[in-house]
């Protein structure tokens, strides 16, 4: 195995997605109950010896003032901290991308629902949105960094995009 990417969309419900060599994908969600230890153990279980490159990533936390929101929710920052703790313990740099890069539902996103459908990765339902956003982050990372399999992903997932 050449590389494995494990990415998180941290929050009250944290989505996670994983990709091996641009070919094999899996995803899921943790929460909404507290899941700090569960997240840590998931990272640990996905970091296996046969991997040449292990990339751990997380959506970054950006606070924006929103007068329509009643309070500030910092739980996302707690779960990013779990990723940071694991990365320091095992000497793996934590990669981060802004929410706008990975969000599949945004009009200007590079990875859209149609791309995930063409790649056979789309799982319908609002309850899967955080996991789908991790796929957005992973695909963006693979393609921008031209990792193994990126051309095949572009040809299949973006073939009808103009």
Whole-Å CA distances, 40 to 11, 35, 69: 14, 9, 30
The per-residue pLDDT for 45 is: 95
Mean pLDDT of 126-152: 96
Q: What is the CATH number of the domain that holds 144?
A: 3.30.420.10
Q: How many domains does the chain have?
A: 1
Of 123 and 48, the structure prediction assigns the larger pLDDT to 123
Domain that residue 25 falls in:
3-61+71-157
Sheet holding 3-9, edge to edge: 24-30, 14-20, 3-9, 53-59, 94-97
State the Cα–Cα distance between residues 10 and 80, nearest whole angstrom.
Answer: 7
Per-residue HEC secondary structure of 38-63 comes to HHHHHHHHHCCCCCCEEEEEEECCCC
- What pTM does this model have? 0.92
Report whether pLDDT(118) > 90. Answer: yes
The per-residue pLDDT for 40 is: 97
For residue 66, is it within any domain?
no
CB contact burial 118-136 (16+ within 10 A = b; e otherwise): bbebeeeeeeebbbbbbbb
Mean pLDDT of 103-127: 93
The per-residue pLDDT for 67 is: 66
The per-residue pLDDT for 148 is: 94
The per-residue pLDDT for 26 is: 97
State the Cα–Cα distance between residues 4 and 138, nearest whole angstrom.
Answer: 10
For residue 7, is it within any domain?
yes
- What is the Cα 16 distance to its own chain's centre? 6
58-98 confidence digits (pLDDT tens): 999 876 666 665 555 678 999 999 999 999 999 999 999 99
For residue 162, is it within any domain?
no
The per-residue pLDDT for 6 is: 98
State the Cα–Cα distance between residues 86 and 1, nearest whole angstrom.
Answer: 22
For residue 146, is it within any domain?
yes
State the Cα–Cα distance between residues 11 and 3, nearest whole angstrom.
Answer: 26
The per-residue pLDDT for 105 is: 82
The per-residue pLDDT for 32 is: 94
3-42 confidence digits (pLDDT tens): 999 999 999 999 999 999 999 999 999 999 999 999 999 9
For residue 130, is it within any domain?
yes
State the Cα–Cα distance between residues 148 and 146, nearest whole angstrom.
Answer: 7
**Percentage, residues of the chain above pLDDT 70:** 91
The per-residue pLDDT for 62 is: 75
């Amino acid at each position: 195995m050449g590389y494995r990417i494990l990415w998180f969309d941290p929050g009250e419900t944290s989505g996670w997605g994983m990709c091996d060599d641009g070919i094999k994908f899996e995803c899921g969600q943790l929460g909404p109950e507290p899941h700090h230890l569960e997240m840590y153990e998931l990272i640990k279980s996905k970091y296996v010896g046969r991997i040449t490159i292990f990339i751990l990533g997380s959506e970054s936390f950006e606070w924006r003032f929103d007068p329509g929101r009643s309070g500030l929710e910092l739980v996302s920052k707690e779960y990013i901290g779990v990723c940071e703790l694991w990365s320091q313990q095992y000497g793996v740099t934590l990669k981060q991308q802004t929410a706008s890069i990975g969000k599949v539902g945004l009009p200007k996103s590079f990875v859209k629902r149609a791309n995930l459908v063409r790649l056979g990765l789309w799982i319908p339902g609002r309850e899967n949105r955080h996991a789908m956003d991790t796929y957005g982050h992973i695909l963006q990372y693979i393609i921008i960094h031209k990792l193994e399999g990126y051309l095949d992903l572009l040809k299949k997932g973006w073939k009808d995009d103009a």
